Amino acid sequence: MKRKVLAALLCGVLLGAAPVYAAENQSGETVSVSEDVSSDVSPEKGSENETPVVALTSGFQWITGSDGQAKLYYVTAGGSISRGNHTAYTRAEDTVSWLVVDGKWYLVDVSDGHLLSGWQTVDRNLYYFNPDTYAMETGNQTRGGWAMIDGQWYSFRSWGGARKGWYFYDNCWYYLYADGHMENISATVNGKTYFFRSWGGMYANAVVSSGDARYYVQADGSVCTKTGWIKDKNKWYWIKDGSGRLAQNEWITYDNNRYYLKADGTMASSEWIDDTWYFKSWGGMYKGGWLKVDGVWYYLNEDGTKHADGWLYYLNNWYYLKDGGRMAANEWIKHDNNWYYFKSWGGMYHDEWLVKGGSSYYFRSWGGMYSSTTVTIGGRQYTFDENGHKISVQSEWTKLASGLKAAKTHNQLIFVSADGTSATVAMVTKDADGTWNEDLCTSGYVGSGGVGETTEWNRKTPRGQFSFTYAFGILPNPGTELSYTQVDDTYYWVDDVNSRYYNQFVTTKTTLKAWNSAEHIIEIEPAYHYVLSLDYNPSCTPGVGSAIFLHCSANRPTGGCISVPEDQMITILKNVQPGCQIIIDSENGLKNY
């Protein structure tokens, strides 16, 4: 009987009646099986005394066909090879049908029942069948239906179809192509460009990079192509040329202001660019003026560039810009072998004194410091050492001044040291560093009655400390900084004790002539060529004395005034300061003030 069965099978194969399979049975033996493709196949059974053809075991079986290729089949409980248990679909290349086993979906080729794997399109839907299990991927296996296949991400619906197009998942949009794979860089959809994160989520309301370029994507994820400003996360960007690309490392002019967009596309603000241009908090470039950054002043030229190192003349003052354009302030600068000093606000010292570190310095009109020289400043000589320090020359008068109480509250004193009707007159001035300097020392005269208690008639010069009230004279102002009156024939100083104008400087231009006695200033020459009046008898008490002056000498004692040679009187007027005090006494008496 064994020979008959084998012979029948052999004849069938030779005649082409059915394909021959080598099936792997439960014992691991491979046997040949023929199948009728028009219906489920049942393997032949032999009698107990015959050698039977091994039966197919129900379930999934690998069967090698006559072409030597092994394919996976599903064998039903009845022993037949399944051709699917759902609707069949005819495709261009074959006809397929669905097979459901234990709740999992498979796809079989109806022609012989073998299972299909990989990507398959059925009824215009795309599906994926695991090459290892042949089961269809569905969205039920992972959250969101995601699956990594051959290095690409896909998303499947619960019924297995691969998603295509836009997919909103977990508050984020994804884009999947027609073949189902997810985009994770960029995509152009319906003429609009979109960008995606490495994990697939679409960017929205953000600045994104693509190679060297940067773009701004809107709320819908599409690249904004409208030329102009855009703000993102408190930073400003400029979209250029309608291309959607952000300006980078570029200048733009907008609304008559210049702006700079940095390498990352952000607008420069409150910062330097290339250590040359500075931009305001709102982005506009500074130009044509002073700018303070981190406590340091800089000057920006009209083109916006930082002023180069060196000199700058601005609003009648000279400034010096150091390395990096920093303005010199409260500091020394040596330039072309000359020393200069700059004030706290940057202006250069010139024609003025500087007291620093206990020393006094003086600067020329062009700013250079005096050194190793003796010069006349304000009518007085000064000597400066090689370092520019003023050398103080002490005299008996400067020593006297430094020890007086009056020296603590006044910066300039005139001493009148009387000896009978003669006197030594000395003028001293305190510098800003506190040292006293002698301006002049000359001989002079006091009243013919000497120094003492003055009355209108005793021709004595009053003893004491006084200030000055008027500066006047027959000759023009010699250069005093005090208010000076050059008199004409209308000016008088009244000494009539019965006049309401007693001890007053008046002019008949504005005052009715109401006195019987007065000094007609213009007639008293040369004594009244130059005059400083003392504030003696300011209450104008009749008989106490009037017209006490410091004036030019007539080479004889006075009627109660102090006189000095005319050239010395000119020096006094040129140097006298508001607040100057004149002290009149004997040599010993001067020490008490």
HEC secondary structure over 198-215? CCCCECCCEEEEECCEEE
Q: How many domains does the chain have?
A: 5
CA 133, distance to chain mean position in Å, is 64
Q: Is 261 exposed, middle or buried, given 0-12, 13-18 or 19+ CB atoms closer than 10 A?
A: buried
CA 476, distance to chain mean position in Å, is 58
Contact 391, 383 (CB under 8 A): yes
Q: pLDDT value at position 41? A: 37
For the segment 177-233, what is each residue's pLDDT rounded down to a tens digit?
A: 999 999 999 999 999 999 999 999 999 999 999 999 999 999 999 999 999 999 999
d(CA 365, CA 400): 33
Q: Are residues 532 and 570 in the same domain?
A: yes
Confirm whether 204 is domain-assigned: no
Confirm whether 144 is domain-assigned: no
Q: Are residues 57 and 121 in the same domain?
A: no
Confirm whether 245 is domain-assigned: no
d(CA 104, CA 138): 9
Q: pLDDT value at position 15? A: 31
d(CA 586, CA 593): 12
Contact 333, 326 (CB under 8 A): no
Confirm whether 558 is domain-assigned: yes
Q: Are residues 553 and 497 in the same domain?
A: yes
**Token representation of residue 592:** 């008490």
Q: Are residues 299 and 361 in the same domain?
A: no
In the chain the first and final C-alpha atoms are separated, in Å, by 159
Q: Are residues 382 and 521 in the same domain?
A: no
Q: Are residues 443 and 327 in the same domain?
A: no
Helices (H) and strands (E) in the chain — how many of each?
A: 4, 48
Contact 106, 118 (CB under 8 A): no
Q: Are residues 453 and 542 in the same domain?
A: yes
Confirm whether 147 is domain-assigned: no
Q: What single DSSP character describes residue 69?
A: -
d(CA 465, CA 415): 9
Peptide bond into 43 cis (omega under 30): no
Q: pLDDT value at position 379? A: 67
Confirm whether 356 is domain-assigned: yes
Which single residue is written with the structure tokens 């985009």? 183
Confirm whether 488 is domain-assigned: yes
Q: Are residues 444 and 510 in the same domain?
A: yes
Q: Are residues 488 and 534 in the same domain?
A: yes
**Token representation of residue 361:** 């310095």
Q: Are residues 312 and 455 in the same domain?
A: no
Which of 578, 478, 583 has its CA nearest to residue 531? Answer: 478
Q: pLDDT value at position 504? A: 97
Q: Are residues 435 and 572 in the same domain?
A: yes
Q: pLDDT value at position 319? A: 98
CATH number at residue 369: 2.10.270.10
Residue 408 three-state SS: helix
Domain that holds residue 319: 286-333
d(CA 353, CA 377): 10
**Token representation of residue 281:** 């908090």
Q: Are residues 459 and 551 in the same domain?
A: yes
Which single residue is written with the structure tokens 């999992």? 104
Q: Whole-model pTM above 0.85?
A: no
d(CA 468, CA 485): 14
Mean pLDDT by 10 residues, the chain (593 residues): 32 32 37 35 36 63 90 93 90 93 95 95 94 90 86 92 94 95 95 96 96 95 95 95 92 97 97 97 97 96 94 97 96 97 97 87 97 86 92 86 92 97 95 84 96 95 98 96 96 97 97 96 97 97 97 95 96 94 96 94
Cα angle 211, 214, 217 (rounded to 5 degrees) comes to 125
Confirm whether 222 is domain-assigned: no
